[in-house]
């Protein structure tokens, strides 16, 4: 069993891994290079943390299973429960998604609030120690197994070693785990990469006084495909303190601007100008800030032979996803829950542990990589073109079929795999629904529409 576990990284994924391991270990040490403060502020080691982070329902339920009562704590602190699609308006290539009270949801909150809430709960665990301001520089061990980690203080440069019979790397997208393993004699780790070249910019706004307390989240996305070389997307998510977090993203040749006027102009050039109208109605609280998203990248630690006994990789250190889909945190939460389930079997089989992490992340990977491969610049043959047209037909039918719409929402929330859209049941409903015109204006309530005032189009 686990005598001592070292969790490398104190971000969202690292804390969730610690919650997963703690019930099955005598002691756990979380090694974090930044200060492990309880304050709700962005960490230097997570520059993407200032941007929109949507926690989809599969991830939210996984976090609740790992940390019972945390969702109620988040809501009490101002996080927003966004029913999908009842409080989530989405523009697809065929029109606005139908609005009704659904069975899935998003949690709208800043990454800082999410992390600070989990930090407070993690500090309550008696067998968990936090080693802040400690940088991991390598692993201890050999191809027979990993026995711990080597660290140093970023303040003094002083080296140290930490023995552990389970090490989980959750150091994020800049993880050096592949190098650490090859230094110990393991073969190189193979990778899968799909890079859409996304750049995104975020700004936070105070919602206008006219905004109702349950104002919806809104997403406007361009449709992927070889006939649409310009990719522009925008998302508004209500968060705590009656604020709106708005993120705009674009592919090569169409980057949003970090200049406030340019930010608004980019929003006005989206397939629908509703976000530009809402930006004009709100009060900016900060200068827009940008970030170049990493590629969709999956490192196949589960295929490594020999397997590094006593070592596993989770979260962005294992796989990163295009952030416009908002699945990174949820994939990490589902992976951490899979770790807890595996450890409950009372045996430390890290090959099985890594395979469980891989399976838990599969839906997020399949959706992000599959969608991004459809954009201009990705290889596309006759088979891919056929499935593109089939997917568009099914999506159009979703405007007229609750069964199809529910499936689409389930896929987005990582409840069902993307292949669910090709099931006989969905195809049957698509054939029955037909392809009539979808709604071309946002399905606002009368109270919500008043926020736009004369700017509504």
- Per-residue pLDDT, averaged over 317-324, amounts to 91
| CATH class for the domain made up of 2-47+112-193+295-367 | alpha beta
pLDDT classification of 34: cutoffs 50, 70, 90: confident
pLDDT of residue 43: 53
Q: What confidence category does residue 382 fall into, taking pLDDT thresholds of 50, 70 and 90?
A: low
pLDDT at res. 197: 84
Reading the block at residue 216, the tokens are: 């919806």
Cα distances (angstroms) measured from residue 337 to each of 323, 333, 334, 357: 21, 6, 5, 9
Q: According to the model, what pLDDT value does residue 454 have? A: 41
pLDDT digits (tens, 9 = 90+) for 404-456: 999 999 999 999 999 999 999 999 998 988 666 778 899 999 999 999 874 44
Could you tell me whether strands 2-8 and 166-169 are parallel, antiparallel, or unpaired per DSSP bridges? parallel
Buried b (16+ CB within 10 A) or exposed e, 115-134: bbbbbebbeeeeebebbeeb
What does the pLDDT read at residue 291?
85
Beta-strand relationship, 54-56 and 145-152:
unpaired
Q: Please, are residues 391 and 370 in contact by the beta-carbon 8 Å criterion?
A: no
Please give the pLDDT value at position 177: 97
Predicted model pTM: 0.93
């Amino acid at each position: 069993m686990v005598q001592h576990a070292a969790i490398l990284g104190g971000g969202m994924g690292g804390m969730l891994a610690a919650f997963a391991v703690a019930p099955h270990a005598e002691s756990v040490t979380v090694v974090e290079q930044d200060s492990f403060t309880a304050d709700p502020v962005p960490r230097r080691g997570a520059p993407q943390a200032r941007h929109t982070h949507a926690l989809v329902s599969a991830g939210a339920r996984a976090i609740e299973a790992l940390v019972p009562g945390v969702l109620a704590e988040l809501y009490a602190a101002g996080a927003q429960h966004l029913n999908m699609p009842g409080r989530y308006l989405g523009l697809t290539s065929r029109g606005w998604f139908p609005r009704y009270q659904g069975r899935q949801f998003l949690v709208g909150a800043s990454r800082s609030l999410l992390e600070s809430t989990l930090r407070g709960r993690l500090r309550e665990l008696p067998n968990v120690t936090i080693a802040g301001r400690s940088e991991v520089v390598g692993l201890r061990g050999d191809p027979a197994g990993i026995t711990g980690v080597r660290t140093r203080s970023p303040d003094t440069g002083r080296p140290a070693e930490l023995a552990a019979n389970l090490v989980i790397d959750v150091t994020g997208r800049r993880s050096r785990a592949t190098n650490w393993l090859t230094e110990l004699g393991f073969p190189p780790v193979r990778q899968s990469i799909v890079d859409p070249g996304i750049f995104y910019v975020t700004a936070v706004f105070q919602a206008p006084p006219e905004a109702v307390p349950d104002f919806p989240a809104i997403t406007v996305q361009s449709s992927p495909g070889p006939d649409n070389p310009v990719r522009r997307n925008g998302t508004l998510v209500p968060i705590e303190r009656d604020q709106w977090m708005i993120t705009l993203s674009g592919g090569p040749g169409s980057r949003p601007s970090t200049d406030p006027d340019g930010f608004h102009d980019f929003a006005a050039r989206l397939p629908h100008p509703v976000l530009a109208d809402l930006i004009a109605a709100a009060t900016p609280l900060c200068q827009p800030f940008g970030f170049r998203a990493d590629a969709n990248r999956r490192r196949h630690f589960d295929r490594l032979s020999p397997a590094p006994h006593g070592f596993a990789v989770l979260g962005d250190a294992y796989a990163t996803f295009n952030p416009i889909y908002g699945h990174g945190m949820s994939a990490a939460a589902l992976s951490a829950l899979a770790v807890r389930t595996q450890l409950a079997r009372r045996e430390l089989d890290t090959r099985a542990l890594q395979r469980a992490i891989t399976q838990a992340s599969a839906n997020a990977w399949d959706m992000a990589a599959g969608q991004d491969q459809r954009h201009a610049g990705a290889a596309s043959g006759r088979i891919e073109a056929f499935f593109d047209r089939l997917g568009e037909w099914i999506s159009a039918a979703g405007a007229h079929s609750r069964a199809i719409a529910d499936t689409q929402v389930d896929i987005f929330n990582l409840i069902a795999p993307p292949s669910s859209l090709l099931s006989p049941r969905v195809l049957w409903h698509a054939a029955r629904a037909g392809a009539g015109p979808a709604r071309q204006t946002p399905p606002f309530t009368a109270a919500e529409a008043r926020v736009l005032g004369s700017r509504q189009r």
